[in-house]
Structure 1
Amino acid sequence: MHRRLSSRPARSLASALATGTLLTCAACSGDGGRAGGDSASDVVASPLAADSPLASPHRSAAPALTEAGAKAALITEADLEDNWNQVKSAADWGDRLSIGKVDVAALLTAKANAADCQRLLDALYDDDLLGKPSGASALTGFEQSESRLLYQVAAYDRARLGASLNWLKTLPVKCDQFTATDSKGGHRTVQVIENPVPSVGDARQGLQVTVTGTGGTEPTTLTLELAVVRVGTDAITVTSGGLAGTESDTTQLAVRQGTTHLKDVLAGKTPPAQPGNQD
């Protein structure tokens, strides 16, 4: 269960989707176990970063992200198309999904890659795909039918952020397909492929993770899209999907809009209100 707004987005998303047989099975298991690298409100935008509470009052080439800035950089319903509804309870989406432990013997790629695959599962479960934020962070969530989207903005240690992006880039090869088991011996197949991310920010990486298992009469599949974009020492993370698949257009739109918002905040501006979001 979440205790802070900025924590556990991927676990919350996957857990909140636990409405099918796969997820119900995982919920009952009680398991404890989770393209790019580091290349380097209608409010008129303030002309000076020093005049804005959203970024550090000290002028520099790399202003620090504040808590207020992280919240201002979040996307809203107006940034997304279709019928996505923003929810206030995203930080409390349940903790019921536990994917399990990597079956090393069944790993298709080198057995040495099992540690990386387990790290991915643990990161999805504990919501620290990029490691723990070193500074400000904020989270929001949206839902549409059985699909959910979580969006996070956070500040990170630059070296660790770069290393995390480089690690994510290796996963489609190291963990292309493997088996995970729960505490009751249930099996589910996990597949990881690279997913396109809009060419925004300083570095980026996208993945698609599919988890298929049999908890009833027919296989159930949970599909998640993960998109990460680095802007300086800050990053946005989008996790979206559900039992009915993913909506790549929405994920990419969230990435584009979110990156623009974050850049505005770091420049000392307030992201403009979007049409339809002025109540």
Structure 2
Amino acid sequence: MATGTLLATAACSSGDDGAAAGSETAAAVAERPLAARATTPSVGASPSAGTGESSGAAPSPAATLSATGARNALITAADIEDDWVQVKDPQTWRDKLLIGQVDTAQFLTGKAEAADCQRLIDALYDETLLGTPPGASALNGFQEGDSRLLYQVAAYQKAPLDKAMDWLKKLPDTCDQFTLTGGDSGDRTVQVVETSLPDEGDARQGLTVTVKGTSNGDPVTLTLDVAVVRVGDDAITITNGGLDGADEDTTESAVEQGTERLKEVRAGRTPTPTPSDLD
């Protein structure tokens, strides 16, 4: 695999460990813990705890997403179709193109705007776009060629979650283009643009982030689709892309299928298994 993809190759769940490992470039990959991975099991959803969006039941403020519920809400490769393969240990994925410091000299208001852009880069690197979830969380990772998709479901608290969503919404204006310096990749040009998402959940935000730089002396462009959907006090976060670009249709499928699964869980039901769940 070409150096610089956001998601470093992990072994596929199908058991084809050798093929997956052989596609990665060691210079672009290093292990790191996923901060959002740690979970605290909480009270499971009950039929009376739905949001009312899919079941008609009144939401219960006392209900929280359980660890089992978070796992049940995850999508599978069958939900995004094409040739995606679910992989093991996606929490080890990372990309060195995202390591660096934002050049504050480019910003009219200096450190204030630069801090938002630095937060974005750091959050893309460690997959904490909404912060570290205080409640249950679960994630799946998928691979298709040189593209990677990381999908996370987590429980948050309302005020911090709303604040994080507001922060994401202003990034296309605050961080439309900036320079990232340092690290092993030299200066890189980063662009952030807003993208539309399917009308799912209570709130949503889509971004496309491109990072243009060099890897092993060759010019590269890392393209990432970012999608965040809030359902009550829970949220799904998707990062999809690589050096070959990002497939918008895949991102939209993940949003549509994933939101429905999360709503089912919040309504106290177990989502109908997709084909790959039964393998």
Regarding TM over 0.5, the answer is yes
2:45 is matched with which residue? Answer: 55
SS in 2 for 1:273: coil
1:243 is matched with which residue? Answer: 243
Matches within 5 A, 1:1-279: 14-16=6-8, 24=27, 54-55=44-45, 59=49, 61-62=60-61, 63-94=63-94, 96=96, 98-107=98-107, 110-111=109-110, 112-183=112-183, 186-275=186-275, 277-279=277-279
Using the alignment, how far apart are the partners of 2:82 and 2:128 within structure 1? Answer: 29
Q: Which runs of 5+ in 2 are unaligned?
A: 10-22, 31-42, 50-58
TM-score (norm 2): 0.78
Using the alignment, how far apart are the partners of 1:94 and 1:103 within structure 2? Answer: 22
The verdict on how the C-alpha distance between 1:95 and 1:179 changes in structure 2, with shifts beyond 3 A counting, is closer
Contact (CA 8 Å) 1:222, 1:245: kept in 2 or not? Answer: yes
Using the alignment, how far apart are the partners of 2:102 and 2:196 within structure 1? Answer: 26
Contact (CA 8 Å) 2:47, 2:267: kept in 1 or not? Answer: no
Deviation at 1:276, TM superposition (A): 5.5
Amino acid at match of 1:129: L
Deviation at 1:61, TM superposition (A): 2.2
SS in 2 for 1:16: coil
Using the alignment, how far apart are the partners of 1:213 and 1:273 within structure 2? Answer: 41
The sequence identity of aligned pairs, in percent, is: 55
Amino acid at match of 2:146: E
TM-score (norm 1): 0.78
Q: CA RMSD in A?
A: 2.8
Amino acid at match of 1:70: A
Q: Point out 4+ residue stretches in structure 1 off by more than 3 angstroms.
A: 56-60, 94-98, 215-218
Using the alignment, how far apart are the partners of 2:225 and 2:257 within structure 1? Answer: 17
Contact (CA 8 Å) 1:27, 1:98: kept in 2 or not? Answer: no
The verdict on how the C-alpha distance between 1:13 and 1:89 changes in structure 2, with shifts beyond 3 A counting, is farther
Q: Which runs of 5+ in 1 are unaligned?
A: 1-11, 29-52
Amino acid at match of 1:14: L
The verdict on how the C-alpha distance between 1:187 and 1:234 changes in structure 2, with shifts beyond 3 A counting, is same
Q: Which has the higher contact order (CA 8 A, sep 6+)?
A: 1
Amino acid at match of 2:71: K
Amino acid at match of 1:55: A
Deviation at 1:217, TM superposition (A): 4.8
